[in-house]
Amino acid sequence: MNEPPQIIETSRLRLRFPTIEDAPSIFEQYAQDKQVTKYMTWQPHSNIETTQEFLQQSIEDLTAKNYYLWVISPIEEKKAIGMIRLQLDNYRAELGYVLARSYWNRGLMTEALQPLVNWAINQPDIYRVWAVCDIENLASARVLEKVGMTREGILRRWLIHPNLSDEPRDCFCYAKVK
């Protein structure tokens, strides 16, 4: 399997691997925002040190051959306004993402996610690109539909979203297969 591109550019966005220098803008733009983190599997960061620790661990994880992470930035700026994670598992590729609230409802996450969905499904060894989202997160469900994924069903009690509940919640499962 080919390595995914380190840098991806669209008409409005640049996706690139993160650096520790991204911590201030990640913290400021979305990591501490309770509305952005509502459906995440992690709690809002209470200080920039938490964001730095997350980034340090993520950068270390990038050395693994099955885990990739991109910072999303406006094409003309360096600030991080979101992230996309891609985890490869044999013949599957799983996606996860987050975007700063001030950039919602502009089609940016669809624009950022589409090249990665395309890259993954075009790999000879990948047969399934998939993602899940909380059944109440209809905006995320719409993004997954816009990038060509099909809702396969509901995974009951699938993920804990600690900002909503201490118990696992139901999630929609979306996939694009070949």
User: Could you tell me if 82 and 103 are in contact, meaning their C-beta atoms sit under 8 angstroms apart?
Assistant: yes
Per-residue pLDDT of the chain (178 residues; tens, 9 = 90+): 788 999 999 999 999 999 999 999 999 999 999 999 999 999 999 999 999 999 999 888 887 778 899 999 999 999 999 999 999 999 999 999 999 999 999 999 999 999 999 999 999 999 999 999 999 999 999 999 999 999 999 999 999 999 999 999 999 999 999 9
pLDDT in tens, 122-140: 999 999 999 999 999 999 9
Domains of the chain: 7-177 (3.40.630.30)
In this prediction the pTM is 0.95
CA of 39: how far to CAs of 16, 78, 104, 161, in Å? 24, 26, 14, 6
Token pair listed for 87: 């985890």
pLDDT at residue 61, as a whole number? 84
Closest CA to 84 of 96, 75, 74: 96
pLDDT at residue 2, as a whole number? 83
Angle 166-164-108 from CA coordinates, rounded to 5°: 135
